[in-house]
Chain A
Amino acid sequence: MAVDEQLKIEMGKQGVFVTTLQELYNWGRRSSIWPMNFGLACCAIEMIATTMARYDLARFGAEVFRPSPRQADMMIISGTVTKKMAPQVVRLYNQMAEPRYVIAMGACAISGGPFKQGYNVLKGIDRYIPVDVHIPGCPPRPEALLEAFMTLQKKIDAQPLTGEARPRHLDEQAPGEFPVPEQGAHDLEPPANKSVWTVPVVIR
């Protein structure tokens, strides 16, 4: 039972604080995102800059970069994902604790970027793992990464704890394991995870 927004503001002025369990839960969730400490290419430099004093990622409660996936719940795909690196990225994603989030940072991570026509670069990490926020840019500025954080926080805030739209970690049926691709003769096997990515239809 949600409280009327206007009533809440009025009561706040009188010094009465009203909240719901869902708001409290999501507040805790969005304010303690621990990113994983790994960078793939030049975007990682912008990611490092974001964590430093000038841009100060700590304002969003996300400055605790963990060197182990066991303690992290967000993955920033910061840079070019080569086909040699993709299996490792997917395996690390699998080893992270629930609830887990992914930000695909930069043109390479979301689509392959300038290397899209190349033979050795994955054309977007969303072929294998579910991505929450995509940020374009080559590389995106730290402000863009902050914007991605805020977008993710808004997304977490809007999630109800029950029903169809509940977060993945509260859903017993939601998949926890995403298959790790293997190096085939010409490409990664399989070339994409069908359950998270389908071939887009080109309309000419």
Chain B
Amino acid sequence: MAFNPYFSLAVLFVVALCFGLTPLALAWLWSRVFSPQKPNAIKNAIYECGLESKGDAWVQFRSSYYLYAIIFLIFDVEAVFLLPFAVAFLGLGAAACVSMLVFVLLLVEGLVWAWAKGVLTWA
């Protein structure tokens, strides 16, 4: 058989997998065989420091948070692009400055749109 250089890695992978899974399997087997099972309604209820749990864990968040996050992300990314531009500003030609202006204006257009939509007003 041709010896694959990655064979030892595969062996190590299997050993690592067994190292993690064997204790879990043993614990599972042990609890299957020996644990005294005595379930009841109170025992299976949700644990909440002894109190009965109220309501649902699925809580709704306001969607306006999502818009704020999007607007923040736009200007966050803009800052990342503006920083190298500002560092190399003196060595740049007119074409570079115009393209950067277009980039910033595009983002400003997005902000104006959001402003006109009333996103920035907390309702």
- Nearest CB of A to B51, in Å: 6
B29 to chain A, nearest CB (A): 17
Interchain CB contact under 8 A, B42 and A180: yes
> In the complex, which residue of chain A has the Cβ closest to the Cβ of B52?
A91
Q: Which of chain B's residues has its CB closest to A87's CB?
A: B50
A interface residues, how many (CB within 8 angstroms): 17
- Interface extent on B, as a size class? 10 to 19
Say whether A69 contacts B51, CB under 8 Å. no
Q: Is A95 close to B, CB under 8 A?
A: yes
Give the interface SS of chain A, mostly helix, strand, loop or mixed: helix
Q: A180 to B43: give the CA distance in the assembly, Å.
A: 11
Count of A-B residue pairs with CB < 8 Å: 38
Q: How far apart sit A19 and B108, CA to CA, in the bound complex (Å)?
A: 83
The complex places the Cα of A88 from the Cα of B51 at a distance, in Å, of 6
Instruction: Tell me whether A176 and B47 are in contact (CB under 8 A).
Output: no
Known A68-B47, A69-B47; judge A91-B36 contact (CB<8 A). Answer: no
Known: A169-B36, A170-B36. A177 touches B42 (CB 8 A): yes
CA distance A91 to B46 in the complex (A): 11
Q: Which residues 108-152 of A sit at the B interface, judged by CB distance below 8 A?
A: none
Q: Is the CB of B38 within 8 A of A95?
A: no
Residues of A within 8 A of B (CB): 68-70, 87-89, 91-92, 94-95, 98-99, 169-170, 176-177, 180
